[in-house]
Chain A
Amino acid sequence: MRDEGVDLLLPPVADTSALIVRYPWQGRRLFSTAHQDLARELVRLLRYTEESRHAYERGSLEERNRIARDLHDDVGARLLSGLYKTELGDTHTVLRDAIADIRTIVSGLATDQPVLGQVIASLRHEAGERLSAAGIDLDWPIAANDDSETPLDYRVYRCFVSAHREAVSNIIRHARASNVAIHVSESDGRLHTVISDDGIGIDPARTTGSPNGHGLRGLIQRVNGVDGRAVIRPLPIGTTVEITIPLAPNQTARSDSSAAANAAPHPAFKG
């Protein structure tokens, strides 16, 4: 307020430049502190609206990037490897995996935010169906955190589901196991999964070796991409895969992991 209420100075807001409003009511009255307060409040609301709109736009851009990345890195890579398979049966498997990926992406988008308990339930169901179709028993009893309402960050959700799927696929393809035990727990802001089988064990070279990669190599890369850790260990009989994923990975990992995935022309989905 200036000149004892003749002028009211408004800051730039919502795409308009700064304004000086003067001579209220055609010069017959002056601005009062009440008008000043009202103007302040309006400016504050406009700024808030503007900020929300920007946040929304940023959010939808991030969302679009996320969908694009998932389609490219996961679905695209799978379909591509399906194209190269010479056995029709292998192509079928790859196509089914791609459809499963699309389902995960779509359901991750359709729900507001997946919660841990629900994600565990659908993974348990899926693992049970897949393993039983392969003649393998699943031991994954209901545990305390099955009721967990902890919301999962979309990246954590994708990583958790994919890593799980890959570990189970690997057992079905290679382990010749008759039993699989799975345990998931949540502590200190981390999601901890142990998947053990009683199969023929694993050749350590498979997880570290060829540049062409392997399902388990892809799993490790993916988990590293969200600041997590995946360890594959031989047991006296069989193998155990331990996956630890932070529930709130730091933001820098995002660009690192997508850069890494983009740099590799054939993400490790060759299993």
Chain B
Amino acid sequence: MTLSPAQGRPRQVLIIEDQADTRAWLRQMVASAFEHAEIAEASSCATALAWLKAHGARMADNSGALALIDLGMPDGSGIDIIRELTARYPAVLRIVTTIYDDDRHLFEAIAAGAQGYLLKDRHPDTMVQYLHRIDNGEPPLSPSIAQRMLQHFAQVKPQASDPEFACSLTARETDVLRLLGRGLRVAETARVLGLTPHTVAGYVKVIYRKLNISSRAEAAIEANRRGLT
């Protein structure tokens, strides 16, 4: 679709996936979603990290850069790569590609900094459509993950002393999570709350970010408590 004309360079995409067939299929999906994309592949955590070491800086400089990350790799978890990308190359859009839609796997990935997820058994048309949506800042959110997020934020203590980590949800964001947790989709949630779908999608994106911030805050507090810092 759209290029990233800002630097006149094609969009850079890194696909991290251990199954060769799936990798080839994902490449096809990316190629049909983003014309002229420059696609790199990695088949293990180690090769992905090595690739990032060599090309990460250049990639982060590329507006529209994105990484598709499989969670179950033979030599480790894709979550570590998400963490690495979030910490060092936050400009790269981080999308999980998975066969599991359960909250356990995905919640952890979002807490680590994932900005969207795609289920690998989807129809190609749906896949391309969802890729575009995530790229537009409209990540999906299944009911089970929404419910899990609600539980999480209900327990988060506001970190008044450190405004960077002040990441409890607003009343509106909580409303959105509650309705998504009941299985409504973004458009229906918008109708119930009297908002535009665009606004609701924006809230979802913020909720993703807040989950990442609050879990980093928790990690920092935990490290502090154990005297690691």
Residues of A within 8 A of B (CB): 92, 95-96, 99-100, 103, 106-107, 110, 117-118, 120-125, 128-129, 132-133, 140, 142, 146
**Contacting pair B142 A122 (CB below 8 A):** yes
In the complex formed, the residue of B with least CB distance to A123 is B183
Q: Determine the chain A residues whose CB is within 8 A of the CB of B143 once the complex forms.
A: 118, 121-122, 124-125
A107 CA to B188 CA, complexed, in Å: 26
Q: Determine the chain A residues whose CB is within 8 A of the CB of B24 once the complex forms.
A: none
**Contacting pair B181 A121 (CB below 8 A):** yes
**Contacting pair A125 B142 (CB below 8 A):** yes
Give 27 A-B contacts (CB < 8 Å), ordered by A residue: A92-B123, A95-B121, A96-B123, A100-B121, A103-B100, A103-B101, A103-B102, A106-B102, A107-B102, A110-B102, A110-B104, A117-B182, A120-B182, A120-B183, A121-B143, A121-B181, A121-B182, A122-B142, A122-B144, A122-B183, A123-B183, A124-B183, A125-B142, A125-B143, A125-B185, A133-B123, A140-B183
B91-135: which have CB < 8 Å to A? 99-102, 104, 121, 123, 125-126
**Contacting pair B147 A118 (CB below 8 A):** yes
CB of B49 within 8 A of chain A? no
A216 CA to B216 CA, complexed, in Å: 49
A146 CA to B183 CA, complexed, in Å: 10
**Contacting pair A121 B147 (CB below 8 A):** yes
Q: How far is the CB of B194 from chain A (nearest CB, A)?
A: 15
A123 CA to B182 CA, complexed, in Å: 10
The residue that B179 contacts in the complex, of A128, A140, A142, with Cβ under 8 A, is: A142
CB of B184 within 8 A of chain A? yes
**Contacting pair B144 A96 (CB below 8 A):** no
Q: Determine the chain A residues whose CB is within 8 A of the CB of B125 once the complex forms.
A: 133
Q: How far is the CB of B160 from chain A (nearest CB, A)?
A: 32
**Contacting pair A125 B99 (CB below 8 A):** no
Q: Determine the chain A residues whose CB is within 8 A of the CB of B99 once the complex forms.
A: 99
Instruction: State whether A121 and B183 are in contact (beta carbons under 8 Å apart), knowing that A99-B121, A133-B126 are contacts in the complex.
Output: yes
A123 CA to B183 CA, complexed, in Å: 7
Q: Determine the chain B residues whose CB is within 8 A of the CB of A132 once the complex forms.
A: 185
**Contacting pair A129 B147 (CB below 8 A):** no
Instruction: State whether A142 and B182 are in contact (beta carbons under 8 Å apart), knowing that A103-B101, A122-B142 are contacts in the complex.
Output: yes
A120 CA to B108 CA, complexed, in Å: 24
**Contacting pair B185 A128 (CB below 8 A):** yes
Q: How far is the CB of A74 from chain B (nearest CB, A)?
A: 16
In the complex formed, the residue of B with least CB distance to A124 is B183
In the complex formed, the residue of A with least CB distance to B100 is A103
A140 CA to B179 CA, complexed, in Å: 13
In the complex formed, the residue of A with least CB distance to B123 is A133
A142 CA to B188 CA, complexed, in Å: 10
B158-196: which have CB < 8 Å to A? 179, 181-185, 188, 192
A248 CA to B192 CA, complexed, in Å: 34
Q: How far is the CB of B104 from chain A (nearest CB, A)?
A: 8
Q: Determine the chain B residues whose CB is within 8 A of the CB of A103 once the complex forms.
A: 100-102
Given contacts A107-B102, A118-B144, 17 further A-B contacts (CB under 8 A): A95-B121, A96-B123, A103-B102, A118-B147, A120-B183, A121-B143, A121-B183, A122-B143, A123-B183, A124-B183, A125-B184, A125-B185, A128-B184, A128-B188, A129-B185, A140-B183, A146-B182
**Contacting pair B126 A124 (CB below 8 A):** no
Q: Determine the chain B residues whose CB is within 8 A of the CB of A140 once the complex forms.
A: 183
**Contacting pair B121 A124 (CB below 8 A):** no
In the complex formed, the residue of A with least CB distance to B122 is A96
A95 CA to B192 CA, complexed, in Å: 36
Q: Determine the chain B residues whose CB is within 8 A of the CB of A92 once the complex forms.
A: 123
A213 CA to B176 CA, complexed, in Å: 43
In the complex formed, the residue of B with least CB distance to A95 is B121
The residue that A124 contacts in the complex, of B147, B182, B192, with Cβ under 8 A, is: B182
A233 CA to B104 CA, complexed, in Å: 40
Determine which residue in B142, B181, B182 has the highest number of CB atoms from chain A within 10 A of its CB, and name it: B182
B136-156: which have CB < 8 Å to A? 142-144, 147
Q: Determine the chain B residues whose CB is within 8 A of the CB of A121 once the complex forms.
A: 143-144, 147, 181-183
Q: Determine the chain B residues whose CB is within 8 A of the CB of A99 once the complex forms.
A: 99, 121
A142 CA to B123 CA, complexed, in Å: 28
Instruction: Please list the 9 inter-chain residue pairs (A to B) with the smallest Cβ-Cβ separation, ordered nearest first.
Output: A124-B183, A121-B183, A121-B143, A125-B183, A99-B121, A128-B185, A125-B143, A121-B182, A122-B143
Q: How far is the CB of B1 from chain A (nearest CB, A)?
A: 19
Q: How far is the CB of B24 from chain A (nearest CB, A)?
A: 16
